[in-house]
Amino acid sequence: MDNHVVIMAGGIGSRFWPMSTPECPKQFIDVMGCGRSLIQLTADRFDGVCPRENMWVVTSEKYIDIVREQLPEIPESNILAEPCARNTAPCIAFACWKIKKKHPNANIVVTPSDALVIDTGEFRRVMEKALRFTDDGSAIVTIGIRPTRPET
């Protein structure tokens, strides 16, 4: 399987103020106190599902250097700068277009850079199952959690 992951990291973190600021939004902060930022934890979560050379980050031009610093193993050509923020759909379309030009048979996973996933083993199991399903044909799979509280 030709698996690719798109990490969306363009947000300015305004809802997480004062910890998160436009200069350093939450995806680049060690929110969990574990020595890894949220974007680093996101990339780590996909290890074993997708090689780092098949990981892509879409971010604002002003965060390119932070992404390079925090994820040095991701190729520079896979760090895509949005000229201006246009929200989720254009971000996904831009990344998928770039990937499909080079990898026409790619299975593409799109994920936010700031999701909190506690059970990474279960996450990987579900991702691998979803990717096997999409590899068998043209399909879109959405993965989520069953909400237990309003904020989930």
| Exposure b/e, 111-136, CB count within 10 A at least 16 = b | bebbeeeeeeeebbeebeebbeebee
* 5-44 confidence digits (pLDDT tens): 999 998 877 777 777 777 788 899 898 899 999 999 999 9
> Which SS3 state, helix, strand or coil, does residue 135 take?
helix
* 38-70 confidence digits (pLDDT tens): 999 999 999 989 999 999 999 999 999 999 999
Radius of gyration in angstroms for the set of CA atoms belonging to the chain, rounded to a whole number:
15
- Domains of the chain with CATH codes: 3-135 (3.90.550.10)
